[in-house]
Amino acid sequence: MLLCNTDEALSKRQRIATMSDVNPTDQGNQHPEDSYSPPKQGHRRFFQRPWVIITGAVIIALGCFYGMRYLINSRTHESTDDAFIEADIVSLSPKVAGQVSTVFVDDNRFVEQGALLVEIDPRDYQVRVNERQAALQSAMTSLSTASNNLQVAHSRVDSAEATRAQRQAQAEAAQATASRAENDLRRNQELLKNQTISSQEFDAARTAAIAAQANFEAAHQQVAVADSAVAEAQNQVGIAQAQVKQAQAQIKQAQADLQAAELDLSYTKVLSPIPGRVTRKAVERGSYLQVGQIMLALVPTNIWVIANFKETQLVNMRPGQPVTINVSAYSKNSYRGHVDSIQAGSGSRFSLLPPENAVGNFVKVVQRVPVKIIFDEPLNANQVFGPGMSVVPSVQIKNWTVPSWIFWLVAVIAGILVGLFGLRWAAKHRNNENPAGNLNHEPAKA
């Protein structure tokens, strides 16, 4: 309504000014209808136009909103654009040498854990497995033979010990016979002295004593022979036991060789150790790979952010503080995270050539300290994230914040006030340019 009243007053003043320019002496000769001419549109200054004032008010409101938000954010947050995504990149290389028979993946493809990536020609390693299996079978046969020999040796020991016991009993019987014959001989000697027995009977007793002693000595020698047989049998048992142990060791060696051959055979199939995306693929079918040769790299899904903050920004920064992460490649999306840890030392100190400040002139440079930031929410599966991508993290270092609706409320109030004052100022200047006395001047009637 203020704009409408102002326009009506301006049009009225213009009509009056137009009619006042007519000569008074000619007014009587003019027809009333001829005394009126169409009013000329008044010329407004650019900054007095309503749409300019309203546009300026909107711009000031927006500037007020973003200015207050930037001021509060600079007090409660620390941010840097020197930040990048990092991950534990896994470089894959074969454990066995051979010619590649099949490649199952392409560049930048996502693979699950345990997925088959590359297969090396397994025929040579299958032959080795067959050889080790034959060697194991031979060792098991040797163990069976050694076990049988051990049983035979134990049987021989038992037989030798039985023979020895028999010889020992015979030796004891011969000893008893020899002892009795010796006693008879001594009694016969006494009887012979008394002429109780004849010389022929004494000779018979002496012969019997000599024969009994000889039998005892022979029996004793048989016992010694039996002892030797027992010792020999026991020795054979020891040899058989050693052969069994050797066969068992050969079996273990053959089993280890077979296991190694089977492992080498399994290594011909290169599997993915983690879920991730294939990068830096440098293997094709028909290529010959050496042990340790890099074939490809896997970028895992578990990624984080390394932000290099200035040392002056770490005053109030602590592990656990919330972080808002904006990925430069996808600026419309932001992710929540938190500060995991702060490196104990600047990045330049752990570089390949650390600075030596004790030499030459010293110029103080603000150092940057790496800060590890962990994502707290899953990333968009339709977007690609990888090491080296730029991010802009904003760490909340203060616990208090101002809601956005307060900024909008203050900005809207400021815009309305600026708009009202601007419109009032424009109306006032238009009134000053057209004096109020002209409003009462009416055109003369014929």
Which comes out higher in pLDDT, residue 112 or 12?
Answer: 112
Residue with more model confidence, 440 or 416: 416
Report whether 299 contacts 379 (CB < 8 A): no
pTM for the model: 0.61
Residues of the chain with CATH 2.40.30.170: 80-87+302-347+366-396
Mean pLDDT of the chain, nearest integer: 81
Say what the pLDDT of residue 445 is: 41
pLDDT at 80: 93
Q: Which CATH number fits domain 123-267: 1.10.287.620, 3.10.180.10, 3.40.30.10, 1.20.120.350?
A: 1.10.287.620
Sheet of strand 98-103: strand arrangement: 269-271, 116-120, 98-103, 288-289
pLDDT of residue 266: 94
Fold (CATH) for 80-87+302-347+366-396: Elongation Factor Tu (Ef-tu); domain 3 (2.40.30)
**In the prediction, which pLDDT does 29 show?**
43
Amino acid at 442: E
What does the alpha-carbon distance between residue 27 and residue 49 come to, in Å, rounded to a whole number?
37
Rounded to 5°, angle at Cα 402 from 397 and 408: 140
Residue 390 confidence (pLDDT) above 90: yes
Class of domain 90-120+269-289: mainly beta
Mean pLDDT of 111-129: 94
Is it the case that residue 236 has pLDDT exceeding 70? Answer: yes
Residue 95 has pLDDT above 90, yes or no: yes
DSSP string, 250-288: HHHHHHHHHHHHHHHHHHTEEE-SSSEEEES----TT-E
Residue 5: the pLDDT is: 43
What is d(CA 223, CA 165) in angstroms, rounded to the nearest whole number? Answer: 8
pLDDT over 90, % of the chain: 39
Rounded alpha-carbon distances, angstroms, from residue 402 to 323, 333, 407, 408: 16, 22, 8, 11
Q: Name the token pair of 222.
A: 């048989």
The C-alpha atoms of residue 142 and residue 140 are separated, in whole angstroms, by: 5
- pLDDT tens-place string over residues 418-428: 888 877 777 77
Confidence (pLDDT) at 259:
95
CB 397 within 8 A of CB 317: yes
Higher pLDDT, 21 or 380: 380
Residues of the chain with CATH 1.10.287.620: 123-267
pLDDT of 25 reads: 41
pLDDT bracket for residue 136 (50, 70, 90): very high
Q: Range(s) for CATH 2.40.50.100 in the chain?
A: 90-120+269-289
Which tens digit of pLDDT belongs to each residue from 26-35? 444 444 444 4
pLDDT higher than threshold 70 for residue 434: no
* pLDDT band of 201, cuts 50, 70, 90: confident
What number is the average pLDDT over the span 372-400?
91
Per-residue pLDDT at 282 exceeds 70? yes
C-beta separation of 387 from 87 below 8 A: yes
Give 353-363 pLDDT, tens digit per residue.
Answer: 887 777 767 78
pLDDT band at 268 (very low <50, low <70, confident <90, very high): very high
Place 41 in a pLDDT band, splitting at 50, 70 and 90.
very low
Name the token pair of 296. 């490809």
What does the pLDDT read at residue 48?
A: 67
